[in-house]
Structure 1
Amino acid sequence: MDTTKQNSKAWDKKVEEGSRYTQSVSSETIEKSKLGQWGITVTTEKSVPRNWFPESIKGLKILCLASGGGQQAPVLAAAGADVTVTDISKKQLEQDEKVAKRDGLHIKTVQGDMRDLSNFEDGFFDIVINPVSNLFVNDVRPVWNEVSRVIKDEGILIAGFTNPLLWIFDDNLEREGILDVKHSIPSSTLDYLPEEEIQEYINSNQTIEYAHTLDDQIQGQIDAGFVIAGFYEDDFGGTRILDKYIKTFIATKAIKLKV
């Protein structure tokens, strides 16, 4: 099946439902960003360390990759960057467009798949921001390869992704406080469902998610020409039982090596 089309529809639905990652930043946040008081997240709770960015991002070309929703892109644009945001969901991109119109920002929006950045020139961007989103593609290595192509030498990639341990437990039981190891890595949402429930799941416009190995997440960046220069972990903010035992989200700063 076309998982890109499925996830595009699913995220459009999430916007309609007002889920957390479709809620745009406030005008107050934008005003603070214009004054230099800005920060973004690429995981769940923690902000990206300010020293992961250059001292000033004014005029820098930044790609917010698979990052619609009116969260990262408007903040960076308000801080003076030349921002492009791409996402598979039209409605998520409309969230960025609404903030841009509301607060007088210039943001370019492009609907597309994070594995295919053919709309963009080689070595065009100074920074690429990729919040937790590559769980929606079946193979992350093409994502890293495409980012490497469109980013400048010594450009910065800031990415958030899931710790694969998050996926090994039965999700419904984990939400009830029971940790039951049930799934292997790599795998996908559809692998966890009984055959008779798959079509119903698809028809209800739910996201199809993929559990990737750390080898593909981290070594994949290295193989694409990056060196890992920063790392931190994050969690659900204490709302899930796993937060008591391990951080389930990871953020990396990677720098593209000169060829």
Structure 2
Amino acid sequence: MTESEQSLERAEQKAKQWWESWSDTFQQAYDEAETEVGIAFGPGVPNGDDLGLFGDIDGKRAIELGCGGAQFGLALSKAGAEVTGVDISENQLAHARDLADKHDEDIDLIEASVTDMPMVSDASYDLAFSAFAFQWVNDIQSCFSEAHRVLKSGGKLVFSVDHPFYRCLNPETGELAVSYFTDSPRREYSEEFDAEMIVYRRTVSEIVTALLEVGFSIEELREPGYEDPEKYESEFGGFQPDRMARIPPTLVIAAEK
């Protein structure tokens, strides 16, 4: 194994440790917010709104990359899609199974990294989608390559991430904390979980270039939001209404194979 491969493996292990440790707390927050199942790209995008990016999904095969508790995937299952959820965390997938049973929905769940899914067949899905997961993926090129591989010709990848510029701000003060061009990841160690969260920084152009390099064409790039702070509902994780009304908090991209 090369030094680069070893570095990627260590990064993936850290991501898995964090996501496993955080799973119960994360899912409890979902329960308390009473947002059990639904389309949710992130702050600035109304819950339930797919921004017109999915099209008709009834009868389509869809795979959620980094599904966590599969709240998003179950919403598409309820809308008639045949859904598979992929996540690196066994604990998160346990929550997804419980939630699927509760809603009497039949979805497939796979424990795997989104950068390496050998158990998923080539050209087998119409739609790949993800919400606020890819910023925790170190090897984004492999992630996009795998998404491209499992999609049918003409299939779509639709995903959201933290807006790269929004995350340059200090979460407490809102002041610019780091350069937009830095590639140093944001690191936060939690004593409660005895794990380190690592969020990878990429510019919009880096994300788009990575998609193009694996063979996708860009269909849509959205920066949803509102100028009125009162239209924002959440202050979770440093997403504060006054700040979000000035800088888009979420980036949503739709790409086609």
Output the TM-score relative to the length of structure 1: 0.79
Q: Which runs of structure 2 are paired with 1:190-229 in the superposition (5 Å)? A: 190=187, 204-229=194-219
Shift of 1:162: 2.2
Tell me the residue number matched to 1:250.
Answer: 251
| CA distance, structure 2, for counterparts of residue 13 and residue 96 of structure 1 | 16
Deviations 1:47-66 (A, max 9, x none): 443632233x2321110001
Alignment correspondent of 1:185:
182
Kindly provide the amino acid, as one letter, of the partner of residue 54 in structure 2: F
Residue type of the partner of 1:217? I
SS for the counterpart of 2:195 is: coil
Residue type at the aligned position of 1:53: F
The Cα offsets for residues 119-147 of structure 1, whole Å up to 9 and x where unpaired, read as 21111111001111111122312111111
State how far apart, in whole Å, the 2-side matches of 1:131 and 1:230 are. 16
Superposed CA offset, 1:24-66 (max 9, x none): 997x976xxxxxxxx61223341443632233x2321110001
Change (3 A) 1:89 1:42: same
CA deviations over 1:179-229 (Å, ceiling 9, x no partner): 043355212124xx8xxxx7x879721321111122221122122222222
How many pairs does the alignment contain?
235
Q: Find the residue that maps to 1:207 and give its secondary structure.
A: strand
| 1:232 Cα deviation from its structure 2 partner | 1.9
Question: Deviation at 1:7?
Answer: 2.1
Identify the residue that residue 77 of structure 1 maps to in structure 2.
77
Amino acid at match of 1:7: A
What displacement does 1:19 show? 5.3
Displacement, 1:245? 2.3
Partner Cα separation in structure 2 for residue 54 and residue 180 of structure 1: 38
Counterpart of 2:93?
A: 93
| C-alpha contact 1:25 1:70 (8 A) present in aligned 2 | no
1:69-218 matched pairs, under 5 angstroms? 69-169=69-169, 171=170, 174-175=171-172, 177-183=173-179, 184-190=181-187, 204-218=194-208
Output the CA distance in 1 between the equivalents of 2:159 and 2:138: 17
CA contact (8 A) 2:69 2:92 kept: yes
User: In the alignment, does 2:11 pair up with 1:3?
Assistant: yes
Q: Please tell me the root mean square deviation across aligned C-alpha atoms, in Å.
A: 2.9
Structure 2 contact 164–202 (Cα < 8 Å) conserved = yes
Q: Which aligned pairs between 1:52-67 and structure 2 lie closer than 5 A?
A: 52-55=53-56, 57-67=57-67
Question: Once the two structures are aligned, what percentage of the paired residues are identical?
Answer: 20
Residues 221, 233 of structure 1: CA spacing in aligned structure 2 closer, same or farther, 3 A cutoff? same
Paired residue for 2:4?
A: none
The structure-2 alpha-carbon separation of the partners of 1:152 and 1:95, relative to structure 1 and needing over 3 Å to count, comes to same
Counterpart-to-counterpart distance in 1, 2:51 and 2:204: 25
What is the Cα deviation at residue 23 of structure 1? 4.5
Q: 1:19 to 1:94 in 2, by over 3 A?
A: closer
CA contact (8 A) 1:233 1:247 kept: yes
d(CA) in 2 for partners of 1:226, 1:24: 38
Match of 2:25 in 1: 17
Ranges of 4+ aligned residues in structure 1 off by more than 4 Å: 19-26, 200-203
Deviation at 1:109? Answer: 0.6
